[in-house]
């Protein structure tokens, strides 16, 4: 049982116009086995929340705390956060030319576990996970995200999540840009990881469509850098019908 606890989180970013506060006091608690949908209009700070938790150097935390099972996440380096059990599936995964997917996966698994995986079971695990995500075995020999289609990049993110087995996973707009077939495959992967490892999930999305495939336990509406409203799955249905206008008018 793991808990990610975000308290009064304030985050700024440097822009050409000066320092800008993006997150203005975020409170959120995610436990193992729970799925929290973070929904909101573009520019509301959803991705900033994801990248701040993962430790991207672009963002400065000015106030508040983030802990994982009581440990101070903000004190950890980027790789220490991953080793502690956090995972970020990125909206725009980065190309690393010349580094093969299989080498990358093995290096990451070794780093997370602190020891190299047993070769035979590892090869089998990778093969199985790739089959589940309908990925061609030849994928392993390609450069990381190099020339991948949008759908391939997202499946590759979920492949990493299934193999690295984090405690808490942040999915940053994993659904955007996917056709319905790819969305279904990716969602199956997320549900599989949740069923097998009891993963806690922060599911950041702009659209409600993914919530037909990944059932949220909680829905948080994110507006202007903080949570404007929260509730159960019924809140998502209301958003689907009404959109975000209601919040924007008052913001």
Partner 1 sequence: MTVTDHTQATADAAHSHGIIPDKSRADRVVSFDADVFPVPTGREENWRFSPVRDLKSIFADEPADGHLEWTTSELPAGVTLAEVPEDDARARTVREPGDRASALAVKHSGGAMALTIAANTVVEEPITIDLRGTGGDVRGHLLVEIGQSAEATVVITRTGTARYSELVSVDLRDNAGLNLVLLQQWDEDAIHAGEVVARLGRDSRLRGTVVTLGGKVVRLNTSAAFAGEGASVDLFGLYFADSGQHQEHQLFVDHAVPKCTSRVTYKGALAGKTAHSVWIGDVLIRAAAEGTDTYELNRNLVLTDGARADSVPNLEIETGEIEGAGHASATGRFDEEQMFYLRSRGISEDQARKLVVRGFFADLVHEIGVPAVEKSLMKQIDLEIAHVEEELEHE
Q: Around Cβ 245, how many Cβ atoms within 10 Å?
A: 9
Q: Using CB under 8 A, which of 104, 117, 188, 238 touches partner 1?
A: 104
Nearer to partner 1, 18 or 98 (CB): 98
Cβ count near 214 (within 10 Å): 21
**Kind plus residue range of the DSSP H or E element containing 172:** strand 168-172
Distance between CA atoms of 95 and 241, rounded to whole angstroms?
37
Which of 33, 41, 64, 143 binds partner 1 (CB under 8 A)? It is 143
Query: What span, in angstroms and rounded, lies between the C-alpha atoms of 85 and 74?
Result: 14
Candidates 61, 74, 76, 99: give the one binding partner 1 (CB under 8 A): 99
* 154 belongs to the binding site for partner 1 (CB under 8 A): no
Q: List residues bridging with 87 in a β-sheet.
A: 169
According to DSSP, residue 70 is labeled T
Burial of 87 (0-12, 13-18, 19+ CB in 10 A): buried
Helices 150-164 and 180-197: angle between axes, nearest 10 degrees: 10
Q: Distance between CA 92 and CA 98 in Å, rounded?
A: 19
Is residue 10 within the footprint of partner 1 (CB under 8 A)?
no
Which residues contact residue 250 at a Cβ distance below 8 angstroms, ignoring those fewer than 6 apart?
none
Q: Which C-beta is closer to partner 1: that of 36 or that of 156?
A: 156
| Among the residue ranges 102-110, 126-134, 232-240, 241-249, the one whose residues contact partner 1 (CB under 8 A) | 102-110
238 binds partner 1 (CB under 8 A): no
Residue from 242, 251, 203, 206 nearest 224 by CA = 251
Cα 176 from Cα 6, distance rounded (Å): 25
Contact with partner 1 (CB under 8 A) among 14, 72, 78, 181 = 78
Residue 147 in contact with partner 1, rule: CB under 8 A: no
Q: Provide the 8-state DSSP code for 251.
A: -
Which member of 64, 93, 150, 233 binds partner 1 (CB under 8 A)? 93
Instruction: Give the chain's largest Cα–Cα span.
Output: 57
Selected from 82, 168, 183, 228, the binder of partner 1 by CB under 8 A is 82
Segment contacting partner 1 by CB under 8 A, of 25-33, 49-57, 199-207, 233-241:
49-57
User: Measured from the CB of residue 125, what is the shortest distance to partner 1 in angstroms?
Assistant: 16
Query: Of the ranges 17-25, 36-44, 88-96, 184-192, which one interacts with partner 1 (CB under 8 A)?
Result: 88-96
Q: Which is nearer to partner 1, 76 or 227 (CB)?
A: 76
- Please pick, from the candidates 16, 18, 70, 97, the single residue that binds partner 1 as defined by CB under 8 A: 97
CB of 138 to partner 1, least distance (A): 17
Binding site for partner 1 (CB under 8 A): 54-57, 77-79, 81-83, 87-88, 90, 93-99, 103-104, 107-108, 111-112, 143, 160, 164
């Amino acid at each position: 049982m793991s808990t990610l606890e975000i308290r009064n989180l304030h985050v700024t970013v440097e822009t050409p116009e000066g320092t800008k506060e993006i997150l203005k006091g975020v409170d959120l608690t995610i436990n193992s086995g729970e799925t929290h949908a973070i929904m909101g209009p573009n520019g509301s700070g959803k991705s900033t929340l994801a990248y701040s938790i993962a430790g991207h150097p672009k963002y400065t935390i000015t106030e508040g705390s983030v802990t994982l099972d009581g440990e101070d996440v903000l004190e950890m380096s980027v790789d220490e956060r991953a080793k502690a059990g956090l995972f970020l599936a990125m909206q725009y995964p980065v190309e690393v030319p010349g580094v093969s997917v299989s080498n990358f996966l093995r290096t990451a698994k070794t780093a997370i576990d602190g020891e190299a995986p047993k070769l035979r079971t590892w090869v089998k695990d990778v093969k199985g996970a790739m089959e589940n995500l309908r990925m061609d075995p030849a994928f392993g020999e390609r450069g990381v995200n190099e020339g991948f289609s949008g759908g391939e990049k997202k499946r590759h993110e979920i492949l990493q999540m299934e193999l690295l087995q984090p405690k808490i996973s942040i999915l940053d707009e994993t659904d955007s840009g996917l056709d319905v077939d790819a969305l279904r495959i990716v969602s199956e992967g997320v549900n599989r990881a949740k069923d097998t490892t009891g993963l806690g999930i922060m599911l950041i999305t702009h659209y409600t469509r993914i919530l037909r495939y990944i059932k949220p336990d909680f829905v948080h509406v994110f507006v202007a850098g903080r949570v404007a409203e929260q509730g159960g799955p019924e809140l998502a249905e209301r958003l689907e019908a009404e959109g975000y206008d209601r919040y924007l008018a008052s913001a």
